[in-house]
Structure 1
Amino acid sequence: MHPDREASWTPPADSEGQPRQVRRILGLFRPYRGRLAIVGLLVGAASLVSVATPFLLKEILDVAIPEGRTGLLSLLALGMILSAVLTSVFGVLQTLISTTVGQRVMHDLRTAVYGRLQRMSLAFFTRTRTGEVQSRIANDIGGMQATVTSTATSLVSNLTSVVATIVAMVVLDWRLTVVSLLLLPVFVWISRRVGNERRKITTQRQKQMAAMAATVTESLSVSGILLGRTMGRSDSLTKSFSDESEELVDLEVRSNMAGRWRMAVITIVMAALPAVIYWTAGMALQLGGPEVSLGTIVAFVSLQQGLFRPAVSLLSTGVQIQTSLALFQRIFEYLDLPIDITERPDPVRLDRIKGEVRFENVSFGYGGEDGPVLDGIDLTVPAGGSLAIVGPTGAGKSTLGYLVPRLYDVTGGRVTLDGVDVRDLDFDTLARAVGVVSQETYLFHASVADNLRFAKPDATDEELHRAARAAQIHDHIAALPDGYDTVVGERGHRFSGGEKQRLAIARTILRDPPVLILDEATSALDTRTEAAVQDAIDTLSANRTTLTIAHRLSTVRGADQIVVLDSGRAVERGTHEELLEEGGRYAALVRRDAQLEPTR
């Protein structure tokens, strides 16, 4: 990691307006438009059936009961029961389909974000907190669940119900309809104000949740616990987490209470509307206005009450949609991240890889105000040859090695494999060609066998054993109670540093790459453990093109060629003996190592 890079990635400012964002959200549902069409039909049918009930009630009150028509009364009552049954059945079916579609959309979003992040260069992850990435996938997409699974259907359902109900109300009595809808524009305006307010608070809340996730990921990992305990910072870390949680509490309360009083006023007014209708009808009758039948009034109030629920729900849905725009925006920010490590449209595939590596006038920089990390590097490593890269901390050693597997891309010149620019190779060829063993060995919280098979999923047990023997770790694994089924623990903490390194070497042997990058693979080990691991490395390096990045020079004396980097430039090159004779920087580094070696 470049030492001067910022610790976290700051997303770009919101450059797209709400209309474009809404179009992108609707585009997520496009693959499921067939199922959504069925949902629409069910919603329409349910709305029509539910609207029919007040008309049946009007006929019962105005015709069937006054005229004593028992047959008609029975038929109308049966129709009302059938209406309730059909409405419930349609509701269950539409919920099933819409929830399935919503969950598929969430799956598509999670997969798209994860896939996008898998294609990002190493530079993105060196400046982004792990918890921030996890929060986008878990909290932000999880927070959208209500929107994508039920809000869309609720919007269509309530909108259809409102339209159908208003039409039915107009058919019954247009004058009462006008009285009922006078305040509707005011309600819409209030709900939009509330939605905007909640959207702003939601953006703050999700950022705070991301910060908390990052704190948990960093401080509650095995390494974080070790550091916190040994530094006596457990109480201060708990206090810091408590402060962040307290801020989240405030944001959650503000989010839930934003506009709550205004929405309560809407609820009160709409609940009072039936009384207004009764009063209006009664006053019209007293003042000699047109007579309205009892059945019409009851049916109208029934429709109005039916309008109340979907209307309030529709206004609340509008608030939820505006709130969810903040979540969608955070997801779209990740989906819109520029990918700087891309595969050519027609990449080169090498079936047989010899392993010759060349650096041709290579330069590299992270951009911004930082200067170049590498400048004008020209090196050739023949197939099967070995190159050692040494130099002080920050000289660009690891960066140079990481250019071969395209963890970074050069900003000038080119790196070739068997004469082909690595940027022209397909990713599969590059993955087969180059293996990396670094100082910080990463093991999954899974069994030893699963960790080894990460390099070759179809490897047989015999292949696992053979690779482990070559890495001089088989006997240790076999002696464990569960053998190769032993779970390694979080980041492999059940194993020592040397054992983890040999597991990593066994994993790379299983992969069998013709080009090997060894990045400070033994620098964190004691002398005795280093000797055991070095034996495994020697086995791994045999007949492979090997680039060894080393701080401890005892591991590189046998290299075919040694290059000394300083401030991103190759200042010396040659064999161990040649560089010692020159008496330059390499010789000074050797003398430094001799002074640091423990006396026996």
Structure 2
Amino acid sequence: MRERALPARALPAPPGSPPTPGEDARTLRRLWPYLWRWRWRVGVALALMVGAKLATVGVPLLLKALVDALNPLPGLGAQGSALVLVPLGLVLAYGALRWCASLLSELREVVMLRATEGATRAIALQVFEHLQGLSLRFHLERHTGALSRDIERGTRAVQSLVSYALYSVVPTLIEVALVLGVLAFKFDLGYAAITLAALVLYVVWTVRITQWRTGIRREMNELESASSARAIDALLNYETVKYFNNEAWEARRYDESLQRLRRARVRTQASLSLLNAGQQLIIALALVAMLWRATQGVLDGRMTLGDLVMINAFMIQLYLPLNFLGVLYREIRQSLTDLGRMFALLDRTPEVTDAADARELRLTHAPEVRFEGVHFGYERARPILHGVDLVIPAGRTVAVVGASGAGKSTLARLLFRFFDVGLPGDDPAARAAAGRITVDGHDIRTLTQASLRRAIGIVPQDTVLFNDTIEVNIRYGRPEASFDEVREAARAAHILDFIESLPQGWHTVVGERGLKLSGGEKQRVAIARTLLKNPPILVLDEATSALDSANERAIQAELRRLAAQRTTLVIAHRLSTIVDAHEIVVLDGGRVVERGTHAELLAAGGHYARLWAMQQSAHVAP
């Protein structure tokens, strides 16, 4: 069986830098604990594998005995000799041995399947949980298409690695050792020497050519990931592509990626053909040498016809695993690099972590929230907030307004502790000097992230829904809620009548990112989800920006009722939605420039008053 080109997989190292044996060894050490949980299954599988190979090697020996027994005796025809010399048990044993080898191999796979699937499941779950635990910065910078392929290839690599190692490499080594022993014991060392020399030459050729091909394959893998990521980006941003009529431009960019990928695949296939041709030549030369010696032995009377048949059968049995060795070497290295890439995701350290002595936030009332001298920047060279002081008294509503880029939404991200205060790369002392955020008097860095986020609910400006039913999306606010509670949250968000008017009702699937719903419908689902969560701290980030005036007034009244019992931070662009806030804070360039009630700020005639005047004039303009 010739080596065939298998689906390409991305490699963790950059182009031109193949993984070192040390990296492969580290990957295997990290994989071992997952398999060790199933060690008794691995042991049974190894025992079955040894038994299968003993049966496999025994088949040519029985075949030799069968052929020798069929040699006609003097005075008897061939049929008569067969009746006399071929015991029925020998024929039955030959068939039973072949069946036994196959049966033991199948049993080995059944025994190992649970171990392999268990290890794959454990690793995939750990990677998923780790990615969920990584900070927002990682997810803002990630490339979704390439990341999903890395995870898919990594989980598949676990199965491939166990399969190739346990089902192919180890059995092949056992079979080679047994065959070499039989050849040396029954005949002479020349047969074993030819077989061993062919094996060594085959391995050297395969390893050298495969290492040379690694750079070519890596380039192809990178180009494949890039073309896939480009296609996924275009599909995820389908509406944007349509808005700007750029279908042809996206198609050209995708075609350019495919052209580069095609050229890389041609080079990969050419190098693969060279590898296959060399492998076939080595096997053919070894087979000719072995059969030539065996034929000479039969003609000289030193060997029987059965010996010739046995040697030929041994070579045929070795031919397949030897010829498959190129695939094995390449795929094992490929699986190691794919698995290494997935393990590299586990090595990504979360930017925001719980302190060793972090404690749970337990609230029995609406807490006070404070931003005390907060400095922050997403990039070190571009600070966003400059010493922001902000107090949201318990059970009160504070609104933050300002121009785009002033840092309003950043306050919500910091409150959720998606980022810590300070700048990237700050040492602990600089972090401490960058201010702090407290909830009920507790610095949020001393609390567990899970308990902090349980206490906060948000209605974001850009509502993204899961590609699932409306019920699932609303229930996401509190998965254990009863259907009556889900229905009541929908009623409060003024979306119940819309849901129940749909042909599929609550089971209506909202589509990718909720694209089957209008902007206002998505926003009302988000409001219902937050109402169901019923948190003591509420963040409203342009919560009604996508609603029409009638629905906005109704939902604003519902949100005011909800906020009356909670500590609420309102991030607003339309000033008309926050005139009833207990305090309005005006941000400009990441600094607090004004604060007060709506009436006080209008009377002051400052920044807020100018913003109000501009919005009012825009509202009444024809």
**TM-score if structure 1 supplies the norm length?**
0.89
Name the stretch that deviates more: 463-472 or 522-531.
522-531
Q: Which amino acid aligns with 1:23?
A: R
Structure 2 unmatched runs, 5+ = 1-10, 74-80, 423-433
d(CA) in 1 for partners of 2:186, 2:314: 10
For each residue in 1:545-584, what CA deviation from the matched residue of structure 2 results, as whole angstroms up to 9, or x when unmatched? 0011112222222222222222222232222233333333
d(CA) in 2 for partners of 1:545, 1:467: 19
Task: Name 1:519's counterpart in structure 2.
Answer: 541
Counterpart selection for 1:574 from 596, 612, 619: 596
8 A contact 1:103–1:148 mirrored in 2: no
Counterpart selection for 1:309 from 308, 320, 327: 320
d(CA) in 1 for partners of 2:97, 2:270: 37
Assess, with a 3 A threshold, how the Cα gap between structure 1 residues 274 and 491 changes in structure 2: closer, same or farther.
closer
Q: Could you tell me how far 1:133 is from its partner in structure 2? A: 2.6
d(CA) in 2 for partners of 1:92, 1:190: 32
Q: Could you tell me how far 1:256 is from its partner in structure 2? A: 4.4
1:375 aligns with 2:386: yes
Task: Name 2:118's counterpart in structure 1.
Answer: 104
Task: Name 1:420's counterpart in structure 2.
Answer: 442
Assess, with a 3 A threshold, how the Cα gap between structure 1 residues 136 and 275 changes in structure 2: closer, same or farther.
closer
Assess, with a 3 A threshold, how the Cα gap between structure 1 residues 453 and 285 changes in structure 2: closer, same or farther.
closer
For each residue in 1:36-93, what CA deviation from the matched residue of structure 2 results, as whole angstroms up to 9, or x when unmatched? 2221111100111111222333344556857769467433333221210100101211
Q: How does 1:229-308 map to 2 (within 5 A)?
A: 229-281=242-294, 291-308=302-319
Task: Name 2:209's counterpart in structure 1.
Answer: 194
Q: Could you tell me how far 1:110 is from its partner in structure 2? A: 2.6
Q: Could you tell me how far 1:477 is from its partner in structure 2? A: 2.2
Counterpart selection for 1:17 from 5, 23, 32: 23
d(CA) in 2 for partners of 1:350, 1:12: 42
Counterpart selection for 1:356 from 356, 368, 376: 368
Q: How does 1:379-528 map to 2 (within 5 A)?
A: 379-411=390-422, 412-525=434-547, 527-528=549-550
Q: Which amino acid aligns with 1:394?
A: G
1:30 aligns with 2:39: no
Percent identity over the alignment is 34
Counterpart selection for 1:549 from 557, 568, 571: 571
Q: SS where residue 573 of structure 1 aligns?
A: strand
Q: Could you tell me how far 1:242 is from its partner in structure 2? A: 2.6
d(CA) in 1 for partners of 2:324, 2:112: 17
Q: What is the number of residues matched between the two proteins?
A: 586
d(CA) in 2 for partners of 1:165, 1:480: 71
Q: Could you tell me how far 1:269 is from its partner in structure 2? A: 2.9
1:330 aligns with 2:345: no
8 A contact 1:43–1:160 mirrored in 2: no
Q: How does 1:97-136 map to 2 (within 5 A)?
A: 97-136=111-150
d(CA) in 2 for partners of 1:510, 1:208: 45
8 A contact 1:195–1:322 mirrored in 2: no
Assess, with a 3 A threshold, how the Cα gap between structure 1 residues 57 and 198 changes in structure 2: closer, same or farther.
same
Q: Could you tell me how far 1:530 is from its partner in structure 2? A: 3.5
Q: Could you tell me how far 1:344 is from its partner in structure 2? A: 3.5
Task: Name 2:51's counterpart in structure 1.
Answer: 45
Q: Which amino acid aligns with 1:301?
A: N
8 A contact 1:215–1:241 mirrored in 2: yes
Name the stretch that deviates more: 582-591 or 277-286.
277-286
**TM-score if structure 2 supplies the norm length?**
0.86
Q: Which amino acid aligns with 1:573?
A: R
d(CA) in 2 for partners of 1:349, 1:103: 36
Assess, with a 3 A threshold, how the Cα gap between structure 1 residues 534 and 254 changes in structure 2: closer, same or farther.
farther
Assess, with a 3 A threshold, how the Cα gap between structure 1 residues 55 and 236 changes in structure 2: closer, same or farther.
same
CA-based RMSD: 2.9
d(CA) in 2 for partners of 1:147, 1:495: 44
1:595 aligns with 2:606: no
Structure 1 unmatched runs, 5+ = 1-9
Q: SS where residue 37 of structure 2 aligns?
A: helix
Q: Which amino acid aligns with 2:47?
A: L
Assess, with a 3 A threshold, how the Cα gap between structure 1 residues 131 and 509 changes in structure 2: closer, same or farther.
same
For each residue in 1:318-353, what CA deviation from the matched residue of structure 2 results, as whole angstroms up to 9, or x when unmatched? 121123333223212222111122233443123434
8 A contact 1:135–1:209 mirrored in 2: no
Q: Which amino acid aligns with 1:531?
A: R
d(CA) in 2 for partners of 1:588, 1:378: 23
d(CA) in 2 for partners of 1:487, 1:60: 68
d(CA) in 2 for partners of 1:580, 1:320: 71
